[in-house]
Structure 1
Amino acid sequence: MRIQIRRERINDCHQTESVIKRAFANAEMTDHKEHELVARLRCSEAFVPELSLVAENNGDELIGHVLLTKVTIGIGHKTESLALAPVSVLPQYQKQGIGKILIDKAIEKAGELGYTSVIVLGHPEYYHKFGFKQASSFEIQPPFEAPPEAFMALEIYEGSLHNVSGIVKYPPEFM
């Protein structure tokens, strides 16, 4: 198996949404509408086309997708950040490191584009591998009820969340 990560193309949208649906079909914590969220985000001002990435198997089959979209942190002085959501890998390819490859590449690309941090709501055991820490350790809070250990932040560049605090504001498409 040869995995290639590339930017999602316009003609990939339906196939990407199918991957997302199938990836979350048997997930425990889901509303089964992640594909609809991605469709809404693609049409929003928060969408960064370069940060919607797909994984291809042998250059012909889409097997995964990751999306980073713009959010802000703070109320008065706002700092731009990114939200990681969702990460999708077809069930038969899960637990083979494809999600990790997608996330690593998305974070690398975000840094190249000048973004300095990423926010995620997810499994702490999984996201700690990437350097995510409890967002509360940076004095960053979610705009909704969430277990503190599951709401995390990542500094793409060390110290990039220094002097950043407040509530994360997600684009309305997330709600």
Structure 2
Amino acid sequence: MLIRRETPADVDAIRSVTAAAFARPGGGEPFEARLVDLLRAHDSWLPPLSRVAVDGAGRIVGHVLCTRATVDGAAVLGLGPLSVHPDRQRAGVGSALVYSVLGAADALGATLVGVLGDPAYYRRFGFVPSGVHGIVPQVPDWAPHFQVLGLAADTPRGTFRYPEPFFAEG
């Protein structure tokens, strides 16, 4: 498996993988598939931090991204969505994608990454409940599932804010 940066030729495959990963009973395109497109068109988009997992046959089987976010005006990153095709889940694809994007974020000088997701999953990458770093999510109900990873000794404190596309009508 190869982890690499997204290219323009990958857009349709990424949408397909994201839709499959977040499929819900009753069908319809999941919000997460549209969210990736909305983020790609927004000024929060960071092309070096949109990564795909490619299997040995050249098929895209996973995708992850980080976008610009803020903590009380300080520049930080928001991770997600993370998508792995259902037939490749629980095989290390998601972990490889997360490690890749976190390494790239660190190399670009990011100080902190926030994620809304399963604490049991993201703990393995070093994420901790956001309150440990004095950070609160902009939506209070997210608190049990909102985590952060400090990439620098001095991380900002305050309210974490995702970019506007995260709040588009689903």
User: 1:82-114 deviations in whole A, cap 9, x for unaligned?
Assistant: 101100000010001110000000000011111
Determine the C-alpha separation between the residues in 2 that align with 1:69 and 1:59. 29
How far does residue 146 in structure 1 lie from its aligned partner after superposition?
A: 2.6
1:88 aligns with 2:83: yes
* Structure 2 SS opposite 1:70: strand
Following TM superposition, the consecutive aligned residue runs of length 4 or more in structure 1 with deviations greater than 2 angstroms are 145-149
| Aligned residue number for residue 104 of structure 1 | 99
Work out which of the residue numbers 134, 138, 141 in structure 2 matches 1:143.
138
**1:44-63 equivalences in 2 (<5 Å):** 44-58=42-56, 60-63=58-61
1:160 aligns with 2:158: no
Measured at CA, do residues 5 and 59 of structure 1 come closer, stay the same or move farther in structure 2, by a change above 3 Å? farther
Determine the C-alpha separation between the residues in 2 that align with 1:26 and 1:129. 26
Amino acid at match of 1:143: Q
* Structure 2 SS opposite 1:146: helix
Q: What is the aligned-residue identity percentage?
A: 35
* Structure 1 SS opposite 2:141: coil
Please say if residues 117 and 160 of structure 1, whose CA atoms lie closer than 8 Å, have aligned partners that are also in contact: no
Determine the C-alpha separation between the residues in 2 that align with 1:160 and 1:65. 29
Structure 1 stretches lacking a partner, 5+ long: none
Please say if residues 7 and 53 of structure 1, whose CA atoms lie closer than 8 Å, have aligned partners that are also in contact: yes
Structure 2 stretches lacking a partner, 5+ long: none
Instruction: State the TM-score, normalized to the length of structure 2.
Output: 0.92
Amino acid at match of 1:40: L
How far does residue 26 in structure 1 lie from its aligned partner after superposition?
A: 4.5
Once superposed, what is the RMSD of the aligned Cα atoms? 1.5
Determine the C-alpha separation between the residues in 2 that align with 1:86 and 1:15. 15
Instruction: State the TM-score, normalized to the length of structure 1.
Output: 0.89
* Structure 2 SS opposite 1:168: strand
How far does residue 79 in structure 1 lie from its aligned partner after superposition?
A: 1.3
Work out which of the residue numbers 7, 17, 20 in structure 2 matches 1:19.
17
Please say if residues 116 and 142 of structure 2, whose CA atoms lie closer than 8 Å, have aligned partners that are also in contact: no
| Aligned residue number for residue 5 of structure 2 | 7
Determine the C-alpha separation between the residues in 2 that align with 1:160 and 1:127. 21
**1:34-45 equivalences in 2 (<5 Å):** 34-45=32-43
How many residue pairs get aligned? The number is 164
| Aligned residue number for residue 173 of structure 1 | 165
Determine the C-alpha separation between the residues in 2 that align with 1:150 and 1:129. 14
* Structure 1 SS opposite 2:103: helix
User: 1:65-94 deviations in whole A, cap 9, x for unaligned?
Assistant: 0010000001xxx21111011000000100
